[in-house]
Amino acid sequence: MTIQTVAVVGAGQMGTGIAQVLAIAGYDVTLTDVSAAALETALSRVSANLAKQVERGKLQGIDGKAAVGRIATRVALADVGRCDLVIEAATERESIKHKIFDDLVPHLKPGAILTSNTSSISITRLAGRTPHPDRFMGLHFMNPVPVMQLVELIRGIATSAETFSAVHTVVERLGKTPVIASDYPAFIVNRVLIPMINEAVFVLHEGVGSIVDIDNSMKLGANHPMGPLELADFIGLDTCLSIMQVLNEGLADPKYRPCPLLVKYVEAGWLGRKTGRGFYDYQSEAPVPTR
């Protein structure tokens, strides 16, 4: 299983970052999204990011131009079916991911590998809807992809050794560090991280501390680079809630109950940086706590 061409499904922040690091590593990338505007924005973002790397001396100008040239964009999902590897990086909703794989399967080349960048959903369950679950696994990049060095590799119950080896090789070629996680809800990183964020929201909900004091406590008292509420805004409160719901449903332990305040913020559409308001309001020059 030698991988030369890679398709990335979803031109959001994660998909764009994944396409960028693949192109820099020399892979021919097809980036697809239902929105032509999203694809245009993604290419502009990649070009700007690579220009900054050239400016900082981390990348040669000719290499940056070549990387951008290796990314093709397509609106039709069927157009990515001839790639050796597909990385699904769509919204963290299982129904959407199933729909993508259902639509993609008829167009796949023989031997193609399917992967999901899901941060919490069962790889075995996603694979079970495809005709070749042995050629399916989890490939979870961290955000922001160009900066973060870790990638979680998750085998489904049917994932073959050949599939795992091929995907592992891709991660190494990207210069990332792979860790192997079992197919349990939220895997390793989010199994630890998101409940911590949820607990920080409970601390706020119960009036134990303010938004600023909670974040400063963890930054200065635990040496975290970002406070948990600031980080939640960066991740997206809807994503945090979705992962907590997966943990709550999958492990049936009350310690994974989503904080009611987190639910309320999501219901209000206060999803963090991407909507301009979450635990902080980002409308002004400096973020302002919303409570």
Cα separation, 135 vs 115, whole angstroms: 8
Catalytic annotation present for 190: yes
Candidate list 140, 160, 198, 242, residue with the active-site label: 140
Catalytic annotation present for 162: no
Candidate list 152, 160, 198, 242, residue with the active-site label: 152
Q: Which of 91, 111, 110 is nearest to 236 (CA)?
A: 91
Candidate list 49, 116, 119, 198, residue with the active-site label: 119
Instruction: Quote the radius of gyration of the chain (alpha carbons, Å).
Output: 19
Catalytic annotation present for 98: no
Residue 106: CB atoms within 10 Å: 9
Return the sign of the alpha-carbon dihedral for residues 277, 281, 286, 288.
negative
Catalytic annotation present for 140: yes
* DSSP class per residue in the chain: ----EEEEE--SHHHHHHHHHHHHTT-EEEEE-S-HHHHHHHHHHHHHHHHHHHHTTSS-HHHHHHHHHTEEEES-GGGGTTSSEEEE---S-HHHHHHHHHHHGGGPPTT-EEEE--SSS-HHHHHTTSS-GGGEEEEEE-SSTTT--EEEEEE-TT--HHHHHHHHHHHHHTT-EEEEE-SSTTTTHHHHHHHHHHHHHHHHHTTSS-HHHHHHHHHHHS--SS-HHHHHHHH-HHHHHHHHHHHHHHH--GGGPPPHHHHHHHHTT--BGGGTBSSEE-SSSS-EE--
Candidate list 116, 160, 190, 198, residue with the active-site label: 190
- Active-site residues, by number, are 119, 140, 152, 190
